[in-house]
A and B are shown apart, each in its own frame.
Chain A
Amino acid sequence: MTVPVEWYVALSAILFSIGALGVLLRRNAIIIFMSVELMLNAANLLFVAFSRYLGDLDGQVLVFFVITVAAAEVAVGLALIVVIFRTKQSINIDEINLMKG
């Protein structure tokens, strides 16, 4: 049984939207971070699906790049969350509002 590529596109679009809504609506920095990861993985899913559909391996190679970059972002992001937790004793991003206007 072959799943049509449109379904994959739809699935990744849904995953992407869930991720975006997570970033938009959640307050916990860790959760927001996970939502961003979800968005990246939605893109990965899309790459793999298209790769399969097009019969072109490039798409699958790209996924590795994206995963690598995501790992780098995780390293930096978690470090920042730890640092800010030390200062504020909280990772609620509503409290990150010193600067505005």
Chain B
Amino acid sequence: MEFVTPTINILIVLPVLLVAGGGALLMLLELFMAEERVKQWAPTLAIIVLALAFLQTIGLWGQTHTTFTPEGSSPMVILDNFATFLNVIFLLTGFFTVLISVNYLPRVGLNRSEYYMLMLFSLSGMMLMGMANDLILVFLALEVLSIPLYILAGLSRPRPESEESAMKYFFLGAFSSAIFVFGIALTYGATGSTALPAVLAGVSNGGALALAGVAMMLVGFGFKVAAAPFHMWTPDVYEGAPTVVTAFMSVGAKVGGFAAMLRVFVSAFGSLGQTWVPAVAVIAAITLIIGNVVAIVQPNIKRMLAYSSIAHAGYILMAVAASVNSPDGVSAALFYMFAYLFTNLGAFAIAIAAERKLGEGVMLDDYKGLAKRSPLLALAMAYFMLSLTGIPPTGGFSGKFFVFRATLEAGLVWLAVVGVITSVVSGYYYLRVVYLMYMYDGEGELHTKPALLTAVALTVLATLVLGLLPGAWYEITKQAALQGLQVLAGG
């Protein structure tokens, strides 16, 4: 048998290579430089790597490329507007995470040199999630995304909460990965291939085997995006992990999961659409209810934001469910994630500023009187809470608007009703933070360094822009969604 080297277009995967290469470089640097020096330079290096990758990614907007094409098969990697847009989200997530981490880690005694390395590795996995055109690459990307996160969750060892959260995340992650990979195996058996275009061609004749594959892959994605009933790890892991890791995970891992989920379900399983839409819709409804209702009683801001992130996964799942029967579904999901990126990271940035020591200052009661201690930060926090609730003029409102519209277009009226009611419920716990900040007196110092303030200012600005001028940005997500789908449909 002749071995044919697949043609590889490095430019396409250059952003991913840069990010992963940055991580590898950090790992190598430790061999040659004193650890202190590495720690000192790691954030700068991470920012440079992210900026380079960002520039390269922006340059690729509007283009469609494929690469890693085995002889006689479909390409493994595809870069279209869909992937480019998601890469922008991931790179911004990385950027903001560095900004909020740079002063936090030394402050709480977690200045470990592996932090930025693992973050970059995980980011490269996230980016591959949106670019994967083959189930096996989806699996690899998922693992590249997850394994560094398991370690990051345990970063503050020997703190028992952190160790436990890492352990829990790891076991459940491995368990769901096993289910996921079994799902891939079943799909492979049903369709004869793992390449997405071939799966699309074969899946509707796959019978029970294919259905089982779809179900198991949905579990895998549902776990990654923290959808109920696969969500139970989320609050524990969010609470136990260092707050910066929680922030990174709450956006990165979730959007990563949705990136691959959208590509696989909307395109490769598109012909089974009418079959899986009810399942996704039911999952979305359960997620919305559990996330929003249980968040009400949380006394800890990290747990509250964990349930909040579960709830937001529900809204994005609404858009996923809508994407089969509505042309706006995918773009609504993309817009929602874009707005969620800024709002959630902004809220976490303030949570980090309010965290006095590791695990101290994370209770909601610690937010009492924040308005007096730091009026601007309190105002920003209040604005993020309004955005998470979905009150105009915020990016969160625009996102909810697009998602609800898509859901109604798709004829899932009952789901939209559940979404609206749970949104109202969500006001209870989000606005309570505002209430505590403005109506009480309290003490506690805030750690505001320029890097963190920059992150807050940028996220407020972005949330405001998305709230005031959603139209222009929606057009961009629209292009991302359309192009992503067209290419796949064409195979």
Contact = CB atoms under 8 A, between A and B. Distances in A.
Check whether chain A touches chain B (CB < 8 angstroms). Answer: yes
Nearest to A23: B175
Given A39-B178, A98-B164, A69 B185 contact: no
Contact of B185 (A47, A54, A99): A47
B189 A69 contact: no
Interface in A28-73: 29, 32-33, 36, 39-40, 42-44, 46-47, 49-50, 53-54, 56, 58-59, 62, 65-66, 69, 72-73
Interface in B212-255: 235-236, 239-240
B20 to A, nearest CB: 14
A50 B163 CA distance: 39
B45 interface: no
A96 B168 contact: yes
Nearest to B212: A13
Interface stretch (B136-144, B312-320, B434-442): B136-144
A65 to B, nearest CB: 6
Given A43-B185, A69-B140, A87 B160 contact: yes
A43 B178 contact: yes
Contact of A80 (B150, B160, B185, B193): B150
A20 B176 CA distance: 10
Given A42-B182, A56-B193, A83-B154, A99 B139 contact: no
Contacts of B278: none
A87 B165 CA distance: 14
Nearest to B195: A58
Contacts of B240: 98-99
A98 B303 CA distance: 13
A34 to B, nearest CB: 11
B80 interface: no
B189 A73 contact: no
Contacts of B181: 40, 43, 66
Nearest to B164: A96
Contact of A43 (B154, B157, B182): B182
Most B CB contacts (10 A, CB to CB) among A46, A80, A93, A101 go to A80
B157 A83 contact: yes
B170 A76 contact: yes
Contacts of A16: 178, 182
A50 B188 contact: yes
A9 interface: yes
B220 to A, nearest CB: 12
Nearest to B238: A99
Interface in B407-461: none
Interface of A: 5, 9, 12, 16, 19-20, 23, 29, 32-33, 36, 39-40, 42-44, 46-47, 49-50, 53-54, 56, 58-59, 62, 65-66, 69, 72-73, 76-77, 80-81, 83-84, 86-88, 93, 96-101
Interface of B: 136, 139-140, 143, 147, 150-151, 154, 157-158, 160-161, 163-168, 170-171, 174-175, 177-179, 181-182, 184-186, 188-189, 192-194, 209, 235-236, 239-240, 297-298, 303
Given A33-B174, A39-B175, A80-B150, 5 more contacts: A29-B171, A36-B175, A36-B178, A62-B188, A99-B236
27 contacts: A9-B209, A12-B182, A12-B185, A20-B179, A36-B178, A39-B179, A39-B182, A40-B178, A46-B186, A46-B188, A49-B189, A50-B189, A54-B189, A54-B192, A58-B193, A58-B194, A62-B194, A69-B140, A69-B177, A73-B170, A76-B150, A77-B174, A87-B163, A99-B164, A99-B236, A99-B239, A101-B297
Of all A-B residue pairs in the complex, the 10 with the closest CB atoms, nearest first, are: A39-B178, A46-B185, A50-B189, A99-B236, A43-B182, A43-B181, A43-B185, A36-B174, A69-B143, A96-B164
